[in-house]
Amino acid sequence: MRDELFKELQNSIKEGGRILKGKKKPDREFNFTNPDPKQIRENLGLSQSKFAKLLGISTSTLQNWEQGRRKPEGPAKILLNVAAKYPDAVLNTVFNRQ
């Protein structure tokens, strides 16, 4: 069993190398929609300062997102999508609500 798993790992690493070099397309891609921070914040009923605190960002960063000067990226983009889809889970987790 170990040899089989090791071979599978080797094949995965080789495939990853081919993808990085542009010799192969990935079998799947993950695309996340661009969230609307202002709409999400308003749906949660939070002020800009509280929403920024929830996300762990500065209020000025949130204002830039809401005014379209910048767009959330990486983990912030994912957290915004989670907050949009599961608002109670985010609020309960961050603000220790029950």
Note the pLDDT tens digit of each residue in 60-82. 999 999 999 999 998 999 999 99
Contacts of 71 (CB under 8 A, 6+ apart): 34, 65, 77
> Any idea where the domains of the chain sit in the sequence?
37-95
pLDDT of 29 reads: 82
Whether the CB-CB separation of 34 and 73 falls below 8 Å is answered with no
Whether the CB-CB separation of 71 and 34 falls below 8 Å is answered with yes
Looking at the chain, the whole-number percentage of residues with pLDDT higher than 70 is 95
Fold of the domain spanning 37-95: 434 Repressor (Amino-terminal Domain) (1.10.260)
- Can you state the percent helix, strand and coil of the chain, rounding each to 5? 65, 0, 35
Q: Mean pLDDT over residues 1-29, rounded?
A: 90
Torsion angle of C-alpha atoms 47, 57, 61, 83, degrees rounded to 10: -60
pLDDT of 31 reads: 74
Quickly state the pLDDT bin for 41 (edges 50, 70, 90).
very high
